[in-house]
């Protein structure tokens, strides 16, 4: 079922929730509509499950970086590298959570909960690395780790919006390098 959910997530990611039909999902997953309805009550329930999967997948990536070898500065650089899309097609795809936030706003409490949860996951991961970096003298203490994490998370989200609207890495990479670089001592 995880493979089917992953494929459904890709469809929602490419088309958005409102533009995705069950036919789009069944074409991608090769699973009959009745079978999907047997597991997921409706398209919204499938979408929410896809958001959870996306969030868990991205949190796992962040946790692997934080648990890995290297200094806090190396870990921040790894987060930056992971955040940069390797090609224009991936960049235009954007971030599923940012795309969802732009599509829904705050109109659906369950969707908003997933978006806010992802934002919180990223902020807390950044804050953990920044705290270690501040203790090691690698990052500025002019601002709290919480303030710096909020700043970096905002820069990451802003870049995702720019990428979704067609900006390439030549234009977005300097934004992230500056935001990440300003906190280093």
Residues 6+ apart with CB under 8 A from 16: 99, 103
Tell which residue, 97, 150, 154, has the closest CA to residue 123: 150
Per-residue pLDDT of the chain (185 residues; tens, 9 = 90+): 789 999 999 999 999 999 999 999 999 999 998 898 889 989 999 999 999 999 999 999 999 999 998 999 999 988 888 876 666 676 678 889 999 999 999 999 999 999 999 999 999 999 999 999 999 999 999 999 999 999 999 999 999 899 888 888 888 889 988 998 899 88
User: How far is it, in rounded angstroms, from Cα 183 to Cα 162?
Assistant: 22
User: How far is it, in rounded angstroms, from Cα 85 to Cα 173?
Assistant: 10
The structure tokens listed for 145 are 């780790």
Residue 87 confidence (pLDDT):
62
What is the pTM assigned to this prediction? 0.88
Residue 86 confidence (pLDDT):
62
Which H, E and C letters describe 106-150, residue by residue?
CCCHHHHHHHHHHHHHHHHHHHHHHHHHHHCCCECCCCCHHHHHH
Residue 119 confidence (pLDDT):
93
Residue 4 confidence (pLDDT):
92
User: How far is it, in rounded angstroms, from Cα 179 to Cα 67?
Assistant: 23
User: How far is it, in rounded angstroms, from Cα 54 to Cα 163?
Assistant: 19
Residue 99 confidence (pLDDT):
92
How far does CA 146 lie from the centroid of its chain?
A: 19
């Amino acid at each position: 079922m995880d493979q089917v959910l992953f494929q459904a997530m890709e469809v929602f990611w490419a088309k958005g929730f409102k533009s995705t039909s069950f036919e789009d999902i069944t074409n991608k997953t090769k699973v009959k509509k009745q079978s999907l309805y047997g597991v997921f009550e409706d398209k919204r329930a499938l979408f929410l499950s896809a958001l959870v999967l996306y969030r868990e997948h991205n949190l796992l990536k962040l946790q692997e970086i934080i648990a890995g070898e290297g200094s806090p500065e190396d870990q921040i650089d790894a987060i930056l590298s992971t955040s940069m899309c390797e090609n224009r097609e991936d960049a235009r795809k954007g971030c599923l959570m940012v795309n969802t936030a732009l599509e829904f706003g705050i109109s659906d409490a369950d969707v908003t909960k997933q978006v806010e949860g992802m934002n919180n996951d990223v902020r807390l991961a950044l804050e953990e690395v920044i705290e270690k970096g501040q203790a090691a003298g690698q990052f500025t203490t002019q601002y709290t780790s919480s303030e710096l994490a909020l700043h970096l998370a905002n820069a990451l989200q802003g870049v995702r919006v720019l990428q979704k609207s067609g900006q390439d890495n030549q234009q977005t990479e300097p934004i992230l390098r500056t935001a990440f670089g300003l906190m280093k001592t």
